[in-house]
Amino acid sequence: MGFRDDKNEIVGFDIDYARAAAEKMGKEITFQPIDWSSKESELNSGRIDLIWNGYTITDERKDKVLFTKPYLENSQVAVTLADSPITKLDELDGKNVGLQALSSAADALAASPLKDKVNASEFPDNVLALTDLKTKRLDAVIIDEVVARYYMSKEEGTFKLLDESLAPEQYGIGVKKGNEALLNQLQKALDELNADGTAAEISTKCRFKPLAWIAHTYVYVMRGTPLMLQLLFFCFGLPLLPGVGEYLVFDRFTAAALAFILNYGAYFAEIFRGGLLSIDKGQHEAAQVLGLSKWQTMTKVIIPQMFRVALPATANESISLIKDTALLYAVAVPELLHYAQAAVNRDFRLTPFLIAAIMYLLMTMVLTLFFKALEKQVNQLRKSFGTLDVLKQVSFHVEPGEVIAVIGPSGSGKSTMLRSLIHLEDISGGTIRIQGQTLAENGTYAGGADIRKITDRMGMVFQHFNLFPHLTVQANLELAPKTLKKESSAIIRQRSLELLGKVGLSDKVDAYPANLSGGQKQRVAIARALMMQPDILLFDEPTSALDPELTGEVLRVIKQLAQENMTMMIVTHEMSFARDVADRVFFMDNGEIAEAGPPEQIFGNPKLSRTRTFLQRVEVEG
């Protein structure tokens, strides 16, 4: 299976297994995240060559794609918190259960007797579902067993598996119908990997990271030992350690405060880490393309979204922190309960204890009201790759006002080339010049300030929009100009309204991305890119994530920009659009521009057989 690691990069068994198989076959491999609901259509359109990541073999899918032999046995299981009293599936009756939308877990629940017995909630990914489980908004999460064990190993002692599983299943790799040659070649490579022990070695591989190990150990120890034990250690045990008492002297209150900070720091760290991991990598890239620094990206884009996930759990831990201060009484640190006990011993009345209880209730009530107000405010926001040469001696020149369409099979380096131009990817060699200024030479990029000056003239529109979900449409457009340009708010607002009118979304000024269709989101993304007044616009498959009926509204906006002489490079699978709009077409294959020319030549009379084969494959009309 593939997972997002702490750096939000895709890692895991399937990823390493795929690389090993590609090496056996002598082929290059590129990993392309896709919308899981459209995986078969992506495969049959030629945009991807294989479906390889927890792809369950079913009779229905066998009618659509070819499968390799099963390479992994798996099942869908229910995960609860380690201290949950739930031990069997039947005990989930009436409980709140989360699962990833459009996943094998969703299919398993739909076919299970539990379907009508649980309150099921679907999430975009497993990280969000497990975060809600940790904050006790869910009682259980239905999840792939391999994925479950991965997260259980990352957060030892947090989760447990129920004894029963929902549905056993087998995983295979999906290949396009009719492509038996690739299927047979792939199956041969997989058989060899199993025979020589490579597959077993990959499945048990461990990635050792010293700093991560230290952090995980700290969190594990702090969460795995009682707070009272930690208080006793810091107040009485620490000064007795050899050499410590001589050099580290502090009073009991300071020692107790240190114990609380370290204990609750571990819990808060896990809460915030989970919140940060829930933010898609595309949000970072969108902010970088707009010119925001790493600090501006974190403060204006990432952290506001992180709080949506982290706030409920933060509120719970903060209230627990206030209540746990009562433990200080046991180590003779003056606090509310200490003074109440002193008053009882003096007056022989229990009234001070009642007053102490009321004061604790008042403190937690104030904190609860504060976090509820804050939660309401946030919720209203609506929430060379190793040795692989992806690009090989790619050379081209684009004139001002020219529109270039880049076509080619998946994995040919189209998106990598575009991302290199705006420094979302580093190049291993070669030179990039933008409007006469050198962005990179001999594989080395210019200094940070020079890079920013050059890439500020460029904008990029992403395949999956990458709008900031915590901001309204207008705020999405105005964020970068307000942060980076020395213009008045009135001028920026006027330009944002004009651009929204230009893309036909004047009525969506105060809407949030969650309330927009895919086509509307992409038009907002185009308007956002235009807000920085770029000289060059890059489009990375702007319509591939859209339903066919929504594609036209985005293409109309791009055509209008072409008529206005905007310099554009467009990676696209829309062949008729490329033929109509482009001044030149680049056909990329195997990491190089195999053929370039005007649309009438590329589509009407291509010189290379592989260009003709590709065009026939995507069934170009006319």
- Where do the structural domains in the chain lie, given as residue ranges? 1-71+172-207, 73-169, 210-379, 403-617
Mean of pLDDT values over 390-394: 58
Q: Which range has the worst mean pLDDT, 66-75, 294-303, 464-473, 480-489?
A: 294-303
For residue range 447-460, what is the model confidence (pLDDT) as tens digits?
767 777 777 788 88
> Is the distance from CB of 119 to CB of 96 less than 8 angstroms?
yes
461-500 per-residue burial string, b: 16 or more CB within 10 A, e: under 16: bbbbbbbbbbbbbbbbbbbbbbebeeeeeeebbebbeebb
Phi-psi region of 494 (alpha: psi -120 to 50; beta: other; left: phi over 0): alpha
- Check whether 342 has a pLDDT greater than 70: no
Residue 384 identity (one-letter amino acid): S
> Is the distance from CB of 396 to CB of 575 less than 8 angstroms?
no
Per CATH, the homologous superfamily of domain 210-379 is MetI-like (1.10.3720.10)
Question: Which of 472, 297, 288, 443 lies closest to 380, judged by CA?
Answer: 472
Q: Which range has the worst mean pLDDT, 109-113, 231-235, 531-535, 613-617?
A: 231-235
Residue 466 identity (one-letter amino acid): N
Interatomic CA distance for residues 470 and 476, integer angstroms = 9
Q: Do domains 1-71+172-207 and 73-169 have the same CATH topology?
A: yes
> Is the distance from CB of 597 to CB of 407 less than 8 angstroms?
no
- Check whether 477 has a pLDDT greater than 60: yes
Q: Residue 351's pLDDT is what?
A: 62
> Is the distance from CB of 150 to CB of 12 less than 8 angstroms?
yes
Strands 96-100, 458-461: pairing is unpaired
Say which residue, 532 or 376, is predicted with more confidence. Answer: 532
Q: Residue 243's pLDDT is what?
A: 64
Phi-psi region of 293 (alpha: psi -120 to 50; beta: other; left: phi over 0): beta
For residue range 215-266, what is the model confidence (pLDDT) as tens digits?
777 777 877 787 777 777 777 777 677 766 566 666 777 777 888 888 888 8
Q: Residue 523's pLDDT is what?
A: 85
Strands 2-4, 10-12: pairing is antiparallel
Mean of pLDDT values over 500-529: 84
What beta strand segments (E) does 174-323 contain?
A: 174-176
- Check whether 570 has a pLDDT greater than 60: yes
The tokens of 279 are what?
Answer: 């933010």
The tokens of 388 are what?
Answer: 């692989």
> Is the distance from CB of 537 to CB of 567 less than 8 angstroms?
yes
What beta strand segments (E) does 31-158 contain?
A: 50-51, 65-67, 72-81, 96-100, 119-123, 140-144
For residue range 143-169, what is the model confidence (pLDDT) as tens digits?
887 778 777 877 778 888 887 777 667
> Is the distance from CB of 76 to CB of 104 less than 8 angstroms?
yes
Radius of gyration over alpha carbons of the chain, in Å?
Answer: 29
Interatomic CA distance for residues 332 and 322, integer angstroms = 17
For residue range 269-285, what is the model confidence (pLDDT) as tens digits?
777 777 776 666 666 66
> Is the distance from CB of 43 to CB of 65 less than 8 angstroms?
yes
- Check whether 196 has a pLDDT greater than 50: yes
Residues 6+ apart with CB under 8 A from 103: 36, 144
Q: Residue 380's pLDDT is what?
A: 29
Interatomic CA distance for residues 268 and 316, integer angstroms = 10
Mean of pLDDT values over 538-564: 76
Residues 6+ apart with CB under 8 A from 66: 174, 175, 176, 177, 179, 180, 183
Half-sphere exposure of 401 (CA within 13 A, CB side): 3
**What proportion of the chain, given as a percentage, has pLDDT over 90?**
1
**CATH class of the region 1-71+172-207:** alpha beta
Per CATH, the homologous superfamily of domain 73-169 is Periplasmic binding protein-like II (3.40.190.10)
Interatomic CA distance for residues 139 and 79, integer angstroms = 9
The tokens of 139 are what?
Answer: 């009682």
Q: pLDDT category, 80, cuts 50, 70, 90?
A: very high
> Is the distance from CB of 141 to CB of 133 less than 8 angstroms?
yes
Q: Residue 130's pLDDT is what?
A: 86
Q: Residue 354's pLDDT is what?
A: 63
Q: Residue 278's pLDDT is what?
A: 67
Residue 65 identity (one-letter amino acid): V
Interatomic CA distance for residues 460 and 477, integer angstroms = 13
The tokens of 466 are what?
Answer: 């990458």
Residue 151 parent element (H or E)? helix 145-154
Query: Strand, helix or coil at 201?
Result: helix
Mean pLDDT, the chain, whole residue set: 75
Residue 37 identity (one-letter amino acid): S
**What proportion of the chain, given as a percentage, has pLDDT over 70?**
75
* C-beta atoms surrounding 105 within 10 Å: 28
The tokens of 331 are what?
Answer: 């180590």
> Is the distance from CB of 587 to CB of 564 less than 8 angstroms?
no
**CATH class of the region 403-617:** alpha beta
In the DSSP assignment, the letter for residue 433 is E
DSSP string covering 535-555? SEEEEESTTTTS-HHHHHHHH
Sign (positive/negative) of CA torsion 178, 180, 182, 186? Answer: positive
Kindly list the distances between the CA atom of residue 566 and the CA atoms of 414, 423, 459, in Å, as whole numbers in the listed order: 20, 21, 11
Q: Residue 250's pLDDT is what?
A: 65
